Every structure is written in structure tokens, then in C-alpha cells.
Structure 1
Amino acid sequence: MRIILLRHGQSLGNVDELAYCRIPDHALPLTRRGEREAAAAGPRIKTLLDGTPAAVYVSPYVRTRSTLRGLALGPLAERVVAEPRLREQDWGNLQDPVQQEVLKHQRHAFGHFFFRLPNGESGADVDDRLAAFLGELENRMRQPDHPRTALVVSHGLTIRLLCRRLFGWSIELFESLSNLNTCEDRVLTHDGTRWHIDRPFPQWRDSPDGETQY
């Protein structure tokens, strides 16, 4: 079994944080650069698939669905499921710019995993919904009619937490990792016993508990 994780292309929210104050998070579009990133990622993902169709699970947000379209996978996307559990961490509805900055400082001091955003989610909440998704996905992938490869198009924090759950990483290690760049991928492979990742995540500090990604 294999899971290809892909972060969406650059979105308006990546270059203009005030966009979250006037546009719902789920509706933020890709920038022109994000569209180019998605188009450039298409051949790379096709090479990984090597002619074998994949089941595609995509966050229902505009930027993730646009990224998937930009890949232009054609028949290699055997089935496409818009999966709400793959959405980004919920920060509430339209955000106030002053409160947004305060919350970011509070979250950094408190810890990204357990800090609960007012009217939104904590990282732990995202982790919980991803646990349910991964349990179902692994069961589906064991069925003979399901492709052996799943492509997951999602968001930075969501992808980090998905790997935290799958590999059993500590909270301290999770909080020491950085998101993938836009349209960057990671490939997870199951050898029959356990999952492996092809490359580590970028890490901005050593994990305080000494845990590593391998």
C-alpha cells in the first residue's frame, strides 16, 4: 500500500493574511503562482503513479480541489472523494486581523497541538478526525477493488498531523516540524508491517523529548 501526500499550491491566504478577514477559508483560491505549481506537480505525480491509477482523497476547499484539477491526472485518478476530514484546521469564520495576530502568539506559547482556537479547532481536534479517516482508508486499501495507491491532496498542518497519527510521533516532535512547501509531496509506503516515509519533514528545532522522524 502507498499514500502520496500533496499540499495544495500557493493560495491567496499564503500571500495575504488579511484575505481570511474577507473570504471564508474554504473559498480562498489559488494564486497564479499556485496554479503554475499545480501544473508543474502534475508530471511528478504521474511519474510516481507510473501508469497505475490511484484513489484520490481531496479536501473540499477551493484551493485543494483547484490543485487537483491542475495536476491533470485524467484516467490516473480512478476515483475522487471530496473528504471533509482532510480540511485545514478550522480557525472559525471570517477572522479579525488583530485577534488573529494575538491568537498566533498565544498558540505559539501554549503549543500548537493543544491550543483551542475560539470558535475553531485545536490541533488535537484535527488529529482526532484524521484518525477516523486513516482507519477507514487503511480498511479500504485492503479491499481487492481499491487501488493500491491513494493520493491525498490536503493542507500543511493537516498533512503533518496525518503523519503524526500514522507514525505515532510525539506531540513534541510534531510541534518541532514545519509544513511542507506548497505543492510539495511525501510518499508513504507500507511494507506489510509498518509505514515508511520517503523523506523527513523540515524541522525547525530538535524535538525536546529527543524523538526523531525515523
Structure 2
Amino acid sequence: MVHPQYKYLPKRIILVRHGESQGNLDGSAYTTTPDYKIPLTPQGLRQARAAGEKIRCVVSDYGNSLNWKVYFYVSPYERTRSTLREIGRSFSRKRIIGVREECRVREQDFGNFQVEEGMKVIKETRERFGRFFFRFPEGESAADVFDRVSGFLESLWRDIHMSRLHHDSSSDELNLVIISHGLTSRVFLMKWFKWTVEQFEYLYNPCNCEFQVMQLGSGGEYSLAIYHSEEELQQWGLSPEMIADQKWRANANRGDWNERCPWYLDAFFDHLADSDDSADGETGD
């Protein structure tokens, strides 16, 4: 059970990747259609409807919760808006507090119209350069996406703390659903959980219409390990240390710092003395 002092926090923040798009099916679509206008395929529409049913089961605790509500954020791209419309079929109007188009959770910009063969070479170069810092010609790097997602998170926290997303914060269980893109979701998690650039490089996109549930733990921290299995976290590229941290967060007190995870200290220093007395070059009086 979540402590009463955290009742104003959303119970879940759910990241949803859009359904299968024409671009996922055929990369040549980007040569004639602007990225933001790429539509879902019939399969993508079916995936979105199925995802809506699954998300409703999750936010209602499989029918055991009565006072749940959802608030949607959606990327302005055609494929994410279509995904939202299909997901919305699973919810009644009284369950939806609101929806907001949010440009900062849009897809990574790859430039304008894409030349298919040229993009293949560019993506091969990205693998050699590093996926986080490589900037597409006339487009963005993942680092650029990180910056705008960081701005979105600041706005999100203001909305949460000012109770802008609640109708009745004393009784409603709020669930935020963010319908976005693969890389944007990875960057969102990276920012939220303070993952390093090196850790980001090993992450994988969720599948089309796969969703990732950050659930509020008993101590006020969010964790992927409350809803998801260790196998799922491994499939997304989380290391054993990252998975251990997610498990710790499930019951940790909000604001605590998990010093047991190696990247907090060990990833940045070759060796740290256990105490001041044992530090090299220091002597007592």
C-alpha cells in the first residue's frame, strides 16, 4: 500500500510506443511522406485497440479498483494520435480526465524527406559514432531529444504538484499514459532513473504498442519492476545492476539514494578508499 502522503502522485506512468506504422513496414515511405504524417497500418490499428484493452486492465487493477482515472499525453505525429484514438475506445468519457498534445515527446527528427540508401549509410555511421551523441544531418541526436524530454518532465512535475491533473485528488487514482515513440521512451526512462549514456547505448526499443509501466512503490519511488518481470527488463536492455535498482525502488523511501548500484560511484572512480584514514597521502597527527 502506498503511504497516504504520496496519494497526490500518479499511481502509474505508462509509456506506450505507437502501433505499427507504414514506415515500420516499408522504409521507403519516408522518401515521399513527411515523418509526422506516416500513418498506422491496419495491423497497427489492431495493435492499438488491443493495447487499450490491456492498459484498461492494468489501471483498473483488473477490475478491482473503482476510482481510477487516466490522463493522456500524446506526440503530435499521425501514428501516435491514431494510436491514442484506438486506445481510447477502451475507456468511457468519465474515466478520462484529459488529453494533451505534447510536442516535446515527438519522434527524434531525422531531417526532412529521407533518401533510403543514404539513410542506411547514415545509420551505419551512427553505430560507429555512438547512438546517443550522433546527430542526423538536418536532424537531432538522442542527446537533443534528452534535452527536450527533460523540459517536458519539469512541466509534468509542475502539473502533478499543482494538482492540475486531478479532479478529486482525495479519491481518484491517477494514471498518466504517454503515447510516444521508441527512442523518446528510452530517453524518458534514462532521464527519470538517471541512467548513464553508456547504459543508454545498450537499451532497445519496445515493440509496437508495447507499453512500459512505471508504478508507484510503497515508499513513493517509481519502479518498472513492480509490474514487469525481470525477463522483460532484460529484453529492453537493462543490465543486472539496473534491474537490481528497479527492484530496490519498488520499496524504497522517496528521496533515498541507492548507493549499492555500481554506476552511482564505481562507474566513475577506479578506486575509493573505505575511510579517510586509509586514503593515500594522508597521515594522522
Identify whether the pair has TM-score above 0.5, normalized to the shorter chain: yes
Is it true that 1:45 corresponds to 2:45 in the alignment? no
1:202 to 208, 225, 235: 235
Letter in 2 for 1:55: Y
Q: Secondary structure at the match of 1:117?
A: coil
Give the residue type in structure 1 aligned to 2:83.
Answer: T
Which structure has the greater CA radius of gyration? Answer: 2
- The match for 2:21 is 11
Would you say the 8 A contact 2:73–2:100 is kept in 1?
yes
Structure 1 SS opposite 2:242: coil
Detail structure 1 runs of 4+ shifted over 4 Å in the superposition: none
Q: What residue in structure 1 maps to residue 46 of structure 2?
A: 36
Q: Deviations over 1:66-86 (max 9, x none)?
A: 001011133233211010001
Q: So what's the TM-score if we normalise by structure 2?
A: 0.70
What SS is found at the alignment partner of 1:99?
helix
- Give the equivalent residue in structure 2 for 1:128: 147
Which of 28, 31, 34 matches 1:24? 34
Distance 1:42 1:193 in 2: 26
Where does residue 89 of structure 1 map in the other structure?
108
CA distance in 2, matches of 1:77, 1:201: 32
8 Å contact kept, 1:55–1:146: yes
Q: Larger RCO: Structure 1 or Structure 2 (Cα < 8 Å, ≥ 6 residues apart)?
A: 1
TM-score relative to the length of structure 1? 0.92
Report the Cα offset of residue 144 of structure 1.
3.1
Native 8 Å contact 2:72 2:98 kept in 1? yes
1:56 equivalent among 63, 69, 72: 72
* Aligned residue in 2 for 1:74: 92
Q: Deviations over 1:164-190 (max 9, x none)?
A: 000011111111011000010111123
Q: Distance in 1 between matches of 2:19 and 2:162?
A: 31
Report what 1:159 is aligned to. Answer: 185
Cα shift at 1:87? 0.4
Amino acid at match of 2:70: A
Q: Could you list the runs of 5+ residues in structure 1 that have no partner in the other structure?
A: none
Please, what is the CA RMSD of the aligned residues?
Answer: 1.7
* Paired residue type of 1:174: F
Shift of 1:135: 1.3
Aligned to 1:111: 130
Shift of 1:145: 4.4
SS at match of 1:212: helix
Pick closer, same or farther for the CA change 1:201–1:141 going to 2, 3 Å: farther
Q: Which residue of 2 aligns with 1:183?
A: 209
- Give the 3 Å change call, closer, same or farther, for CA 119–145 of structure 1 in structure 2: closer
| Identical pairs, percent | 41
Three-state SS of the structure 2 residue aligned to 1:55 is: strand
- Alignment CA distance shift 1:37-1:201 (3 Å): farther
- Deviation of 1:138 (Å): 1.8
Structure 1 window deviating more from structure 2 (14-23 vs 133-142): it is 133-142
Contact residue 170 and residue 211 of structure 1 kept, 8 A: no
Q: CA deviation at 1:48?
A: 1.9
**40-49 or 184-193, which deviates more:** 184-193
Give the whole-Å Cα distance in 2 for the aligned partners of 1:133 and 1:201.
27
Letter in 1 for 2:201: E
| Pairwise CA distance, 1:193 | 4.2
In the TM superposition, what is the alpha-carbon distance from 1:203 to its structure 2 partner?
4.3
Q: Structure 2: any 5+ residue segments left out of the alignment?
A: 1-9, 61-65, 167-173, 246-285
Give, as a single letter, the amino acid of the residue that structure 2 aligns with 1:188.
M
Which residue pairs with 1:212 in the alignment? 242
